[in-house]
């Protein structure tokens, strides 16, 4: 129990890193069930639409910052992208504050990514990571899908200027939208590990990161604590 309390306390501290006001967050909604998804790149909303508000996204552990991607220039691809090139002072401050020592830049588009269709298919495989996933959208747009505690898919439409982190252990997947184009920066604390831990082919429920996520975001106590946290950190 003491360990659980320490984890929740740590998460509250991380969530105080000057996040954006609610109005700046991306639009999100509940997706139709997987069996009804004919095209992963479409919006796949329910009829009528079932929106997901910022409070609910915060409870899932998502963090968000709105950045000025128009003011700064980034390469089509750079692996790694030298932190010394981080001329955007807000981006540099955020990276310093959260310890994002590694960064790279890539463009997901048929012209820039060999094997584009297979990559997009792989991105859409449900998985977790043993570390948080950080993405800064420099151009284009796409969808992050994340599971809520009831195993429903929440679809988040990220666009240029959105910087979002997904907590370690959350079930998620990614796809381009119908534009087939997204230009993004990936960030990582320390040496990057991009290998996904796929659900259904691995015992993800026993993974340490999954257990940590459940403790922080899915237990009745966590849901209560996160609800209270919203009042403290919402701007």
Residue stretches of the annotated binding site for Ni(2+) = 127, 129, 133, 172
Tokens 């106590």: give the residue: 221
Q: How many CA atoms lie within 13 A of 120 on its CB side?
A: 23
DSSP codes joined into one string, 156-180? EEEETTEEEEE-TT--EEEEE-TT-
- Residue 12 · residue 5 · CB < 8 Å: no
- Residue 186 · residue 135 · CB < 8 Å: yes
Which residues, in sequence order, are CB contacts of 6 under 8 Å at separation 6+? none
The whole-angstrom distance between residue 64's C-alpha and the CA centroid of its chain comes to: 9
Residue numbers belonging to the annotated binding site for Fe(2+): 127, 129, 133, 172
SS3 content of the chain, % helix, strand, coil (to 5): 30, 25, 40
DSSP tag of 189: S
Q: How many CA atoms lie within 13 A of 66 on its CB side?
A: 7
The burial of 102, by beta-carbon neighbours within 10 Å (0-12 exposed, 13-18 middle, 19 or more buried), is given as middle
- 200: its two tokens: 């259904």
Residue numbers belonging to the annotated binding site: 127, 129, 133, 172
């Amino acid at each position: 129990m003491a360990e659980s309390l320490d984890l929740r306390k740590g998460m509250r501290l991380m969530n105080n890193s000057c996040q954006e006001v609610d109005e700046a967050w991306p639009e999100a909604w509940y997706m139709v069930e997987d069996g009804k998804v004919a095209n992963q790149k479409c919006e796949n909303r329910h009829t009528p639409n079932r929106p997901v508000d910022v409070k609910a996204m915060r409870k899932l552990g998502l963090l968000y910052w709105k950045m000025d991607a128009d003011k700064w220039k980034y390469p089509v691809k750079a692996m790694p992208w030298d932190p010394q090139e981080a001329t955007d002072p807000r981006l540099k401050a955020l990276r310093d504050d959260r310890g994002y020592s590694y960064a790279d830049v890539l463009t997901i588009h048929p012209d820039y990514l060999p094997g584009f269709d297979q990559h997009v298919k792989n991105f859409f495989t449900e998985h977790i990571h043993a570390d948080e996933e950080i993405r800064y959208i420099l151009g284009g747009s796409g969808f992050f899908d994340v599971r809520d505690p009831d195993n429903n898919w929440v679809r988040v439409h990220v666009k240029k200027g959105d910087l979002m982190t997904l907590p370690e252990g959350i079930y998620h997947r990614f796809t381009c939208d119908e534009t087939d184009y997204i230009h993004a920066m990936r960030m990582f604390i320390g040496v990057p590990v991009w290998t996904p831990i796929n659900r259904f082919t691995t015992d993800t429920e026993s993974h340490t990161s999954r257990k940590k996520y459940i403790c922080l975001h899915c237990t009745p106590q966590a849901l209560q604590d996160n609800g209270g946290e919203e009042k403290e950190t919402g701007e």
